[in-house]
Amino acid sequence: MEGTMQTQPPSDPGGQGSDGRVDSKSRYDWKDITEEFMSSASALQMGELLHDTNFGLFEAMSAIEMMDPKMDAGMMCNQIQRKVLTFDSALESGAIKIKDLSIPELIGIMDTSLACLVTWLEGHSLAQTVFTNLFLHNPYMIDDKCLKAFSILMLKLVDHIRDRVNRAGVFEEEDFQSLTYGFKMAADVTDARATGMMKEVEDDLNRIIKMTRSKVGEERDAQTEQEHEITNALFSRVKFFRLFLMGLLSFSKEKCEGIPQAQKLICQLLELLPIIRDTICMGIQPDNKEVGKNDYPTIMGFEPLVNQRLLPPTFPRYTVIRSREEALGHIEGLLYRLQIVTTVPELTTFHIIMEAFQEFSKSSPCVLSRSILQLTLLPVNKRVFGVHTMVDFLKDTIRNFIAPPVLSQKSALYNNSQAKQYVDAWFVQVVRPFTALVQITGHNRARQRDKWAHILEDLSALQEEADKVDACLHQMLTKMEPNRQHIACLGNWVLYHTLQAMISYLLAGFELELYATYEYHYVYWYLYEMLYSWLINTLHRADNFLLENETMAGEK
């Protein structure tokens, strides 16, 4: 499908003509075999089924009955009374306009686009949300400066969000659908140009706002006041979308350099929200028509069924687009969550980060904020905050936790080349499961639980290796420094995380309502008697070790 796409995917494959007109370039020679088929079929026994070797009962389960509205998604298009419009047909018929749009129209289109964006972020397909906006199918044809800039920006926004969520990889099919169905995402327009176009529109609107502002000693007439208010409403939106894209882009700057800028932009965005919220009513509203499945009333430029033929012809999903108010609520939540993300680079050790990430996850944040959180800690280059290697970062964390001699500069073991070899080889193994631990916190709450269970295997293998390394190092150390020990330093640290994973697994069961009441007491018992007491043991051991270390260092 990708190769043959123009700006707008064909929503009219083969023609919807029901007049039976045969295409003059027809290469088919249809023959009616109904009678032969029926008489052959009558020779089958009851319950007997004729099928190809490669298409048995299992494959047949994906079959749908054509023209059954419950199963055939395409039937929706044929059932409704009105004609489904495409960008071209809508333009031709005058159903949409591409120039001289009024401000209420622009406001309505922007607010509805935002609602579609939010609905997409909640797990629905682009085809049934963002791309129901016909203007996005062919933005370069739009004459209206504001609408054109907005449409291009919308495409860039969607593209960027897709990129971030895909890279973070902390979503499943119930969280997010990234398929773009071959739509062009204005790839030839740079981010700078897109935001630049919006800035030009902002400047034009700002001039009008200044002109219509109430001046000291002068009485404004009602019309000027109206113009001022409504232009301000539009201005706020244009600025909002421009800053929103810029904000998201600043998170992806290398080495977290864009974080301060992100913080400023989020503040500005939060300031703009109330104005937008208060002026929703100024945008054009849909008529109060009947709501059907996937055919709801909407405003100029939006066609709920325009992409129906792009979707797989399976059971139709009913996508409810969020209301404009709800969408703003979601965006507000998103902005607050992103504010929290901006504080992450201040966190120092792995343990602190795990705590912070788990805390963040408790509020069931949206897939976008989760993804940006993950990418802020571990961007594409796989370095912590883009700067430190994972190994160095974890070494620091372990030093803090239990100060194993092999990692301590004061110890003779530190410079011993064989010890270094053992330890470095072990650290290579550590990276994968510990990266996974962080990523687990990025998934949705239900998926996290399964992943906690799976990682226990990796952690127990790591523990075994840690114990071996500890034993070797201990032997070596006692020869060099008879007073020092290296029993289970690394092992203790891995155990600490294993226990945390087990505890998270059990606690998740409560939240996800997986325990029957008669099971509660064994979960409580296991947590109390086993897991938490072992956890405290590991912490005590670590503390004791640190204390001993300090004493030793003091004595030297």
Partner 1 sequence: MISESEHPLTGSDVNKNLTLPTSIEDSKPRIEGKIPNGKINHLNDENGRIVRNISTDQDNHKMDLVAQCTCGSGVQHSNEVDNDDESSEHLLCESVRRVHIESQLEDDIKEIDGISYTVYESEKQMPDIMRLITKDLSEPYSIYTYRYFIHNWPKLCFLAMDKEKCVGAIVCKLDMHKKMVRRGYIAMLAVDADYRRKQIGSRLVMKAIKGMIADDCDEVVLETEITNKAALRLYENLGFVRDKRLFRYYLNGVDALRLKLWLR
Number of neighbouring beta carbons within 10 Å of residue 358: 15
| Nearer to partner 1 among residue 200 and residue 457 (C-beta) | 457
How many binding residues for partner 1 (CB under 8 A)? 53
What is the nearest approach in angstroms of partner 1 to the Cβ of residue 445? 8
Of these, 40, 460, 475, 483, which contacts partner 1 (CB under 8 A)? Answer: 460
Q: How far is the CB of 311 from partner 1 (least distance, A)?
A: 13
Task: Build a one-symbol-per-residue string for 58-87: x at contacts with partner 1 by CB under 8 A, - elsewhere.
Answer: x-xx-xxx--x-xx----------------
- φ, ψ (nearest 5 deg) of residue 135: -60, -25
In this chain, which of 13, 17, 47, 482 binds partner 1, going by CB under 8 A? 47
463 binds partner 1 (CB under 8 A): yes
The smaller minimum CB distance to partner 1, of residues 358 and 537, is found at 537
Judged by CB under 8 A, which of 1, 38, 216, 516 binds partner 1?
Answer: 516
Task: Compare residues 73 and 245 and give the one whose CB is closer to partner 1.
Answer: 73
478 binds partner 1 (CB under 8 A): no
Between 167 and 541, CB nearer to partner 1: 541
Shortest distance (Å) from residue 102 CB to partner 1: 36
Q: Is 333 exposed, middle or buried (0-12, 13-18, 19+ CB in 10 A)?
A: middle
Q: Which of residues 318-347 bind partner 1 (CB under 8 A)?
A: 318
- Per 3-state DSSP, the chain is made up of helix, strand and coil in percentages (nearest 5) of 60, 0, 35
In angstroms, give the least distance from the CB of 197 to partner 1: 37
Q: Quote the CA–CA distance of 183 and 190 in Å, as a whole number.
A: 17
Count of alpha carbons within 13 angstroms of residue 532, beta-carbon side: 9
The nearer residue to partner 1, 117 or 542, going by C-beta atoms, is: 542
* The two structure tokens encoding residue 76: 């929706």
Q: Which residue has the tokens 């992103």?
A: 338
CB atoms within 10 A of CB 410: 13
Backbone φ and ψ of 325, nearest 5°: -65, -45
* Closest CA relative to residue 141, chosen from 8, 334, 323, 21: 8
Which residues are CB-neighbours of 68 under 8 A, at least 6 positions away? 75
Is residue 528 part of the contact set for partner 1 (CB under 8 A)?
no
- Cβ proximity to partner 1: between 28 and 58 the closer is 58
Taking CB under 8 A as the criterion, the residue among 444, 500, 504, 549 binding partner 1 is: 444
Distance CA 134, CA 378 (A): 37
Q: Choose between 72 and 229: whose C-beta lies nearer to partner 1.
A: 72
The one among 510, 522, 528, 532 contacting partner 1 by CB under 8 A: 522
Q: Shortest distance, CB of residue 518 to partner 1, whole angstroms?
A: 4
The answer to whether 550 contacts partner 1 (rule: CB under 8 A) is no
Choices 17-25, 219-227, 311-319, 331-339 (CB under 8 A): range interacting with partner 1:
311-319
Q: Taking CB under 8 A as the rule, does residue 157 contact partner 1?
A: no
Distance between first and last Cα of the chain = 73
Candidates 35-43, 393-401, 410-418, 439-447: pick the segment binding partner 1 (CB under 8 A).
439-447
Of 178, 293, 534, 546, the residue at the interface with partner 1 (CB under 8 A) is 534
- Residue 41 contacts partner 1 per CB under 8 A: no
Per DSSP, 66 falls in state: T
Residues 116, 121, 122: CA angle, nearest 5 degrees: 95
Among 456, 471, 523, 527, binds partner 1 (CB under 8 A): 456
Cβ–Cβ < 8 Å for 290, 120: no
**b/e string for 140-158 if b means 16 or more Cβ within 10 A?**
eebebebbbbbbbbbbbbb
If one asks whether residue 208 binds partner 1 (CB under 8 A), the answer comes out as no
Task: Name the one residue in this structure whose structure tokens are 């003779």.
Answer: 412
Q: Quick check: 135 and 143 in contact, CB under 8 A?
A: no
Interior/surface letters 102-137, b for 16+ CB within 10 angstroms, e for the rest: ebbbbbbbbbbbbbbbbbbbbbbbbbbbbbbbbbbb
Nearer to partner 1, 382 or 521 (CB): 521
Tokens of 264: 């400023």
Lookup: tokens for 437: 């631990």
Long-range CB contacts for residues 288-292, cutoff 8 Å, separation at least 24: 292/80
**CB under 8 A: which stretch of 46-54, 344-352, 375-383, 386-394 binds partner 1?**
46-54
Contact predicate 74/309, CB 8 Å: yes
Applying CB under 8 A, among 29, 287, 513, 555 the residue interacting with partner 1 is 513
28 lines the binding site for partner 1 (CB under 8 A): no
Residues lying near partner 1 in the complex (CB under 8 A) are found at 46-47, 49, 57-58, 60-61, 63-65, 68, 70-71, 123, 174-175, 315, 317-318, 444-447, 449-450, 456-457, 459-460, 463, 485, 487-488, 492, 495, 498, 502, 512-516, 518-519, 521-522, 525, 530, 534, 537, 541, 544-545
